[in-house]
Amino acid sequence: MYVFLDFFGIAVFAISGALVAGHKKLDVFGVLVVALVTCLGGGTLRDLVLNAHPVVWIANTTYLGVGIISALATFVLVRLKRTPLHMLEVCDAIGLAFFTIAGTQKAQALGHSFEICLLMGIMTGVAGGVLRDIICNEIPLIFHREIYATPAIAGSFLYLTLSYFNIDTDVAALSGMAVTLASRLAGVYFNISLPAFLFSEDGKESPKPD
Amino acid sequence: MYVFLDFFGIAVFAISGALVAGHKKLDVFGVLVVALVTCLGGGTLRDLVLNAHPVVWIANTTYLGVGIISALATFVLVRLKRTPLHMLEVCDAIGLAFFTIAGTQKAQALGHSFEICLLMGIMTGVAGGVLRDIICNEIPLIFHREIYATPAIAGSFLYLTLSYFNIDTDVAALSGMAVTLASRLAGVYFNISLPAFLFSEDGKESPKPD
Amino acid sequence: MYVFLDFFGIAVFAISGALVAGHKKLDVFGVLVVALVTCLGGGTLRDLVLNAHPVVWIANTTYLGVGIISALATFVLVRLKRTPLHMLEVCDAIGLAFFTIAGTQKAQALGHSFEICLLMGIMTGVAGGVLRDIICNEIPLIFHREIYATPAIAGSFLYLTLSYFNIDTDVAALSGMAVTLASRLAGVYFNISLPAFLFSEDGKESPKPD
């Protein structure tokens, strides 16, 4: 079951990468690269930092295949019919939930401390999207839109806490994913943002960032 | 002979990095950094992902020297005379051909599978240029101009196929390089692009991306 | 004493990251990420390239804590009072001086050659700021403003030379830091820039870059 979830996470992030690249009018190869960076970037960065070689998609090249097929399918499908509204947000939220918990579990399996597991979970969940936006020459959306990392932090924290109290791993993992997914979708739906940086001299004329 | 080709690849990519940085009016240090990232970035990323330490330019610092001298020479020469038309494209195509095959061979020497060798060849060939464009705050050119990765894919694929059938390594490598170089230059000359991403709702008003 | 200097370096770079992120109106999480990337990015890149695992902030999570607290304090404080003029430049210069020497020393402790130690010192000093600017979608300031890497090169070179002649390590390190700090602040104060790239065809109409 976990392998299936993993592939599902890869697929939804590849689709999200392909959609963002598409809005920039990249060609088919550009779409492929952005999709692969989005769906494999977080895990690759985590494995490099944790020195956990071989990195995930070298150990199992099926990940590459799933990412490539998802991106190409997106490339073809959006030419044929309109993409459903909010499809990008929903794909992204599902990928975020899976990857955050998977990243937390990998660090945990390697015996790291609570705070490193938490950080690796967040990094695995959000880094792919950050790299996607950097390549597409955008300020990463996650830094100035609705809450994004907060759901990842909440889910990873819940998983690690349940795990600490010896709750069954599957229950803990599903709880963590559910919290991340639900809070992220609630954030998008109710348009919840975190407070922005505000310099005191800005305060008088512009109380809200654009 | 291979070492000479390697240095030639480093030099042409360093020149291409210096020329792009130059168009952004960076100072001499910025030009150096962009040149080094362009000529060493692909190989560094490959070595990190494959866990092939020490990375290439730490194992042999002559690479650094070749990159630095090429960048500084470019910095001086373009002040003295006009750069020949298309010089950037030709340098880049030669570097692409060398680096793609060199990256493929390194992964092959480490015993990786066909698809990982192919991917590492492409990554070694294109990543330097992608990093160059990210630092210079551009959407990487390779994603929305003439074919770029396609020649790398073709060359690496040909090399690996010939190699699989036990053709002499030098013959295989030179064939792969020739295919990459010829198809990239043909792409630039005949202005061959890959199809761009097109949303179905875009189709009516704007059939071609800008 | 060294640990204190290290934490001070982390803190000032985290503050510089938070201030730059703040000018982009990022939210509190964006500010945290940019601050952590700024203060830990250079060291992480160095440790990955040198294969010096575990990377510095996994080996000692206090670094993470110092970075997070500094960023959050900045986030709160700038809402309350105006930031002193040039505060960003001074923080950045202090961080540059510490990190350059610390990076040089780490490479030296691992037995690398003079030129690799020099390069690793520069990379540790400047990479965090470069990554900060890439995430914030800017051409890295260090490439087209007052001298920035030149002070790092000078300080690292002085340290390594003194060290080569068996001068006491603390004296060598403090001398290197002093040279980096003084020349960087002088560069800001007197507005010293390096010559920019200039194409010969530009020469007639625009002798100076903007």
Query: Of A48, A61, A134, which has the smallest distance from its Cβ to B115's Cβ?
Result: A61
For residue C22, give the amino acid letter.
G
% of chain B exceeding 70 in pLDDT? 83
More confident residue, C24 or A104: A104
Q: What residues contact C128, with CB distance under 8 A and at least 6 apart?
A: C13, C17, C37, C38, C39, C40, C41, C42, C43, C95, C99
Which two three-digit tokens encode residue B196? 């761009």
Comparing alpha-carbon positions, the chain A residue that sits nearest to C60 is: A116
Residue B175 pLDDT level (bands cut at 50, 70, 90): very high
Q: Which helix (H) or strand (E) holds A115?
A: helix A114-135
pLDDT value of position C161: 94
> For residues C35 and C19, what is the distance between their CA atoms, to the nearest angstrom?
9
Q: Cα distance from B104 to chain C (closest Cα, Å)?
A: 21
Cα separation, C116 vs C107, whole angstroms: 7
Kindly list the residues of chain A whose beta carbon comes within 8 Å of any beta carbon in chain B: 18, 21-31, 33-34, 44, 48, 53-55, 58, 61, 64, 75, 78-83, 134-137
Smallest Cα–Cα separation from C130: which of B43, B156, B36, A15?
A: B36
Give the confidence band of B77 by pLDDT, cuts at 50, 70, 90: confident
Greatest mean pLDDT among A129-138, B1-10, B70-79, B98-107 lies in B98-107
Cβ pair C137:A138 closer than 8 A: yes
d(CA A181, CA A73): 24
Helix (H, G, I), strand (E, B) or coil at B81: coil
Least confident span in A68-72, B202-206, C65-69, C74-78: B202-206
| Contact residues, chain C, for B38 at CB < 8 Å | none
Give the per-residue pLDDT at A140.
Answer: 66
Instruction: List CB contacts (< 8 A) between C48 and chain B.
Output: 48
**Contacting residues for C208 by C-beta, under 8 A, at least 6 apart:** none
CA–CA min distance C82, chain B (Å): 30
Report the chain B residue with the minimal C-alpha distance to residue A137.
Answer: B139
C76/A158: higher pLDDT? A158
pLDDT at B17: 87
What chains are in contact with C, requiring at least 3 Cβ pairs below 8 Å?
A, B
Amino acid C129 reads G
| Closest A-chain CA to C79 | A200
Tokens found for residue A199:
């310099």
- The encoded tokens of residue C120 equal 């690793």
Q: Are A96 and A80 in contact (CB under 8 A)?
A: no
Q: What pLDDT is stored for residue A145 in this prediction?
A: 60
Which residue, among C58, C85, C131, would best test binding to A if mutated, counting the most A CBs under 10 Å from its CB?
A: C58
Q: pLDDT > 90: what percent of chain C?
A: 27
Nearest residue in chain A measured CA to CA from B150: A29
Considering only CB atoms, A27 lies closest to which of B48, B137, B143, namely B143
Pick from B48, B195, B200: which is nearest to A81 by CB? B200
| Among candidate residues A32, A71, A67, the one with its CA nearest the CA of residue B148 | A32
Q: Looking at residue A151, what is its pLDDT?
A: 87
C-beta atoms of B196 and A26 within 8 A: yes
pLDDT in tens, C1-25: 566 777 888 898 898 888 888 777 7
- Looking at CA atoms only, how far is residue B61 from chain A in angstroms? 23
Per domain, the residue ranges of chain A are 2-190
Query: How close A50 gets to chain C, by Cα (Å)?
Result: 7
Q: In whole angstroms, give the CA distance from residue A123 to residue B177.
A: 38
> Is the pLDDT at C75 greater than 60, yes or no?
yes
Can you list the positions of beta strands (E) in chain C?
none
Please give the residue of chain B at the shortest CA–CA distance from C130: B135
Cβ–Cβ < 8 Å for C187, C147? yes
Plot region of B112 (φ>0 → left; ψ -120 to 50 → alpha; else → beta): beta
Sign of CA dihedral B13, B14, B20, B23: negative
B-C interface: how many C-beta pairs under 8 angstroms?
89
For residues C172 and C157, give the distance between their C-alpha atoms in angstroms, rounded to a whole number: 10
C-alpha distance from B17 to closest chain C C-alpha (Å): 12
Dist. CA C17–CA C41, nearest whole Å:
11
Of A150, A108, A90, A162, the residue nearest A126 (C-alpha): A150
Give the range with max mean pLDDT: A75-84, A188-197, C179-188. Answer: C179-188
The rounded distance, in Å, linking the Cα atoms of B47 and B120 is: 9
Confidence of residue A107 (pLDDT cuts 50, 70, 90): very high
Residues A143, C30: C-beta atoms closer than 8 Å = yes
> How far is A41 from chain B, CA to nearest CA, in Å?
11
Give the per-residue pLDDT at C202: 46
Residues of B in contact with A75 (CB under 8 A): 197
Per the model's pLDDT, the better-predicted residue between B15 and B91 turns out to be B15
Q: For residues C64 and A114, what is the distance between their CA atoms, to the nearest angstrom?
A: 13
Residue C210 clears pLDDT 50, i.e. is over it: no
Average of per-residue pLDDT across B131-141: 75
CA dist list (Å): C10 to A66, A127, B123: 40, 22, 33
What's the complex ipTM?
0.78
| Residue A27: strand, helix, or coil | strand
